[in-house]
Amino acid sequence: MQKADPVSMGESDHALTGTGGVSNDNFVQHVTDNYGMYITKCYSYLKCPKLAEDAVQEGVLAAHQNLASVKDSSALGAWLYRVIIRKAIDVLRQNQKLPRFDDDLEELVSYDEHGLLIAPIWTQTSNPEEEILRSEGLQQVKQAIDALTDVNRIPVLLKDFEGFSIKEISELLNISESNVKVRIHRGRIKLRSQLNDYFYPNNTDDL
């Protein structure tokens, strides 16, 4: 018998087969507890409250139809969340808001004629992650993520914040795996350069 992959399946792939290892009440309770979080997460992709609401509702219904494939109730939360994020990407595509992931040749990092990085030798702190995580730093990170263009923001959100694999992102966005890697890498570089003030003392260069 073929084993169903609860994360990668499409909503039309499975028949209505009942509720498997997760009860209907458990599902409803889960949706009720996390509904607001789903909306805000979907909003970070769709940038439209109405579309975010639609994506969550469609995602919840699609997930409910495939509830039988979840054998373990402890996996319900992560599974449901990923189904909803997948739906948000579908809604982006349906509304033709998914960006074109074309080649982008703009150089984001400065090098000299020998290919050596032009950057300060010293950083402000030995632990930059801790430095950012101070309350104002987090706000800055939030702004930096929002400031990324969709082309970089969507792959970075999917990979670094939602934990999708490169292969899954490549299928979701319908682009090659190498393109996914480039998009994420460039997104991370842009994110880093937006947070330069936290890393380098008296930095004036756009490095």
Partner 1 sequence: MMPKILKAIKFETLMRPIMPIGAWYFRVSPKMITCREFNQFIFDYTENLLTEKQSKLFERHMKVCPMCRNFLKTYIAAYKAGKHVFPENNLNVPDTVPQDLLDAISAVSSDSSLRKR
Least distance CB 60 / partner 1 (angstroms): 6
Nearer to partner 1 (CB atom), residue 100 or residue 122: 122
Tokens 């970070």 — which residue? Answer: 44
**Crossing angle of helices 49-65/24-46, nearest 10°?**
150
Q: Which two tokens stand for residue 197?
A: 């003030």
**Crossing angle of helices 24-46/76-94, nearest 10°?**
40
CA atoms within 13 A on the CB side of 1: 3
Residues found near partner 1 in the complex (CB under 8 A): 16, 18-19, 24, 27-28, 31-32, 35-37, 39-41, 43-44, 49, 52-53, 57, 60-61, 64-65, 109, 111, 114-123, 127-129, 131-133, 137-138, 141-142, 144-145, 156, 160-161, 166, 181, 184-185, 188-189, 191-192, 194-195, 199
Nearer to partner 1 (CB atom), residue 152 or residue 172: 152
In 9-48, which ranges are continuous DSSP H helix? 24-46
Q: What is the DSSP letter of 2?
A: P
Nearer to partner 1 (CB atom), residue 24 or residue 176: 24
Least distance CB 102 / partner 1 (angstroms): 19
